[in-house]
Amino acid sequence: MPKYIDIAVNLVGSSLEKDSEQIIQTAFEQQVSPLIVIGSDLDESEQAITLCQTYPKQLYCTAGVHPHQASQWHTDSLTRLTQLGSSASVVAIGECGLDYNRDFSPRDRQRQAFEAQLALAATLNMPVLMHERDAHHDFLTILKEYRSSLPNALLHCFTGNRDSLDAYLALDLHLGITGWVCDERRGQELAELVVDIPDDRILIETDSPYLLPRNLKPKPKSGKNKPQYLPHIANYIATLRGQDATQFAEQTYRNSRHFFNLDAKI
């Protein structure tokens, strides 16, 4: 049975938190392990580290400030994030980036927090896990300034168009693909583009509890996405790409281990 790594799980600060033990165990039984727990703000990142320490080798996490929370970025945020980033459980800085779709934080504050976190990732020589929605131009402009100093950079939950795909691949980004691709209504363009992502640049994720695959049967009564459904997403992507499902799973597992420097940890 192939192994999988779910590179984006919102296991703290979401509806999954109260059932974390069961979720981790069920995912493990489906060979989805370890899980990368997302830190969306500094407090949540600290909670994610604590959870990782409870489940060594089954959980790792990111530490960062999501663009939705960018208004919380203040003068002492960099010091605190630097401390969090030193934890052995933290395998990337983020989730950071820009989101001009909802604008939960002012755009200038989003850009400030994004730049600061990219600079920190470069200083710490750590990978960065990023978010971009309806902000392609500014995102690309800022990222270009730091990309050469970053060891690895991932745009998670990629749902862009052909032009953005080409631009991100030109910057040698890894791209995370979610169950969005399983949605026959809004995921059709992604289903066409996913074929053109190079084998060594594609990663897979649930972004749970969000983005439950629409073609998942039977659908869970809770309506929540969970890491245990990652094999379903992987199999569907492999079919779209015309690849053997087991070989695709093995490739993305290797990609994830390499991206997050997990080879010596698991």
Packing angle between helix 77-85 and helix 42-54, nearest 10 degrees?
20
User: Is the confidence at residue 266, as pLDDT, over 80?
Assistant: no
Structure tokens at 53: 């320490």
Q: What sign does the CA torsion over 141, 173, 134, 124 have?
A: negative
Confidence grade of residue 265 (pLDDT, cut at 50, 70, 90)? confident
Q: Pick the residue with more confidence: 263 or 248? A: 248
Contact 134, 164 (CB under 8 A): no
Q: Which domains does the chain have, with CATH numbers?
A: 4-259 (3.20.20.140)
36-90 pLDDT, tens per residue? 999 999 999 999 999 999 999 999 999 999 999 999 999 899 999 999 999 999 9
Contact 128, 121 (CB under 8 A): yes
- Any idea which residue has 């059709």 for tokens? 188
What is the identity of the amino acid at 88?
A
Please provide residue 32's backbone torsions phi and psi, each rounded to the nearest 5 degrees: -100, 95
- Residue 66 has a pLDDT of 98
66-81 pLDDT, tens per residue? 999 999 999 899 999 9
Q: Which of 66, 8, 10 is nearest to 233 (CA)?
A: 8
120-161 pLDDT, tens per residue? 999 999 999 999 999 999 999 999 999 999 999 999 999 999
Contact 52, 83 (CB under 8 A): no
Structure tokens at 203: 């990663």
* 3-class secondary structure, 266: coil
pTM for the full predicted model: 0.97
- Residue 165 has a pLDDT of 97
What is the distance in angstroms between the CA of the first residue and the CA of the last residue of the chain?
A: 17
User: Is the confidence at residue 249, as pLDDT, over 80?
Assistant: yes
User: Is the confidence at residue 24, as pLDDT, over 90?
Assistant: yes
Q: Which of 247, 229, 239 is nearest to 191 (CA)?
A: 239
- Residue 113 has a pLDDT of 98
Confidence grade of residue 169 (pLDDT, cut at 50, 70, 90)? very high
Average confidence score pLDDT of the chain: 96
- Residue 42 has a pLDDT of 97
